[in-house]
């Protein structure tokens, strides 16, 4: 019998505070593939030489004019996994660079308690946390995209969104559909909003079962790569080899793991995360709940769009969620610039989070 990868959330990670004092009440979050758009980052480059330098480095590292593709398109080329991922990384880091410039110019010193990325957004988070050099991150996400596409070739993969079922019903869908092929829970994005991933017959069967359980909406997504599923095993194995030779230092502030919101505060843990999350699901609900329980009350989405901002508002209605992206104001939303000075950092006992 084929294995159904039913991703279950450990009880200890759902809304449970981490056993150390948060560095501040602010968290930086970074979007993943799907948030890209033609023209993203253009306003940042026009406003800041430092942001322009980020895109110049991306062009140099990749040996091609990625910036021209980002600013001018075409969209169908930008949307390719091998282009979208480095484009998102460059745009997110350029945005963070300009935001930090604006804070410094306003005399504000902002510390964050956590950095967290959704899927490939973890690479942006690691660069932001000083764990991964931008040049290495760009090379890695390009390699990640290539290996994800290669891992999908010859495998009839698919992904499908399901809205309006509770966790128990989602587990029932996965259990009943697994006879049709490999299947897993790719994303738990918000209460009642999940994405399934795996072999196409299994995904299609799961969507029909979800309809029968009165899901409010089911959508077969227009993708060919079954991300965050067992079909990415070859990509994960390849990335493990690639990452072994890349220097990754301890992230400061820590990240939270995509699959279970476990703290990531060492370089080795970060390296393992970048491998493991290719085949495991992204539990964004658990990640946001754990940060909120640990004292975070303000989330800044650093990257194009506001997908994560909308999800965070549904997961934790009592917190402030701000999308930094604002092309009409030099690329940075005024509300993000106007944040007051964060709390003084508190040194955490790293052994307490093992």
Catalytic machinery residues: 119, 228
Cα 234 to Cα 278: distance, rounded to the nearest angstrom: 10
Helix residue ranges per DSSP H, the chain: 42-47, 49-62, 66-72, 75-78, 81-105, 121-128, 134-152, 167-177, 200-212, 233-243, 267-276, 284-293, 307-315, 334-337
Please say whether the beta carbons of 267 and 261 come within 8 A: no
Query: Mapping DSSP to helix (H, G, I), strand (E, B) and coil, where does residue 40 land?
Result: coil
Q: How many other C-beta atoms can be found within 10 angstroms of the C-beta atom of residue 40?
A: 25
Q: Structure tokens of 88?
A: 């998102």
For residue 222, CA distances in Å to 126, 159, 207 come to: 29, 8, 14
DSSP secondary structure string, 84-100? HHHHHHHHHHHHHHHHH
Cα 8 to Cα 167: distance, rounded to the nearest angstrom: 9
Cα 228 to Cα 132: distance, rounded to the nearest angstrom: 22
In terms of DSSP bridges, do strands 255-256 and 263-264 run parallel, antiparallel, or are they unpaired? antiparallel
Question: Which sign, positive or negative, has the C-alpha torsion 171, 175, 178, 180?
Answer: negative
Cα 301 to Cα 95: distance, rounded to the nearest angstrom: 10
């Amino acid at each position: 019998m084929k294995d159904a990868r039913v991703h279950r959330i450990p009880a200890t990670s759902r809304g449970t505070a981490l056993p150390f004092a948060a560095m501040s009440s602010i968290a930086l979050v970074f979007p993943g593939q799907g948030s890209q758009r033609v023209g993203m980052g253009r306003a940042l480059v026009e406003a800041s030489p430092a942001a322009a330098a980020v895109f110049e480095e991306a062009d140099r590292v990749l040996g091609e004019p990625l910036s021209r593709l980002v600013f001018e398109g075409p969209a169908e080329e930008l949307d390719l996994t091998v282009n979208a991922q480095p484009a998102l990384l460059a745009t997110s880091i350029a945005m963070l660079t300009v935001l930090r410039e604006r804070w410094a110019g306003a005399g504000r010193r902002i510390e964050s308690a956590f950095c967290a990325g959704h899927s490939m957004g973890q690479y942006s988070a690691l660069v932001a946390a000083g764990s991964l050099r931008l040049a290495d991150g760009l090379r890695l996400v390009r390699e990640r995209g290539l290996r994800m596409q290669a891992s999908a070739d010859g495998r009839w993969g698919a992904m499908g969104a399901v809205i309006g079922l509770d966790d128990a019903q989602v587990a029932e869908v996965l259990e009943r559909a697994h006879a049709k092929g490999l299947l897993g829970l790719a994303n738990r994005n918000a209460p009642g909003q999940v994405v399934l991933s795996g072999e196409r017959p299994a995904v299609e069967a799961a969507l029909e079962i979800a309809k029968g359980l009165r899901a409010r909406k089911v959508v077969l997504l227009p993708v060919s790569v079954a991300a965050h599923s067992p079909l990415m095993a070859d990509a994960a194995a390849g990335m493990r080899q690639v990452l072994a030779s890349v220097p990754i230092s301890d992230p400061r502030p820590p990240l939270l793991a995509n699959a279970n919101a476990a703290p990531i505060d060492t370089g080795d843990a970060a390296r393992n995360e970048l491998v493991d999350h290719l085949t495991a699901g992204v539990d964004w609900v658990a990640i946001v709940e754990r940060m909120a329980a640990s004292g975070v009350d303000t989330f800044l989405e650093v990257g194009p769009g506001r997908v994560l901002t909308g999800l965070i508002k549904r997961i934790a209605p009592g917190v402030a969620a701000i999308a930094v992206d604002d092309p009409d104001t030099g690329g940075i939303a005024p509300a993000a610039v106007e944040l007051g000075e964060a709390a003084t950092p508190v040194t955490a006992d790293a052994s307490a989070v093992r």
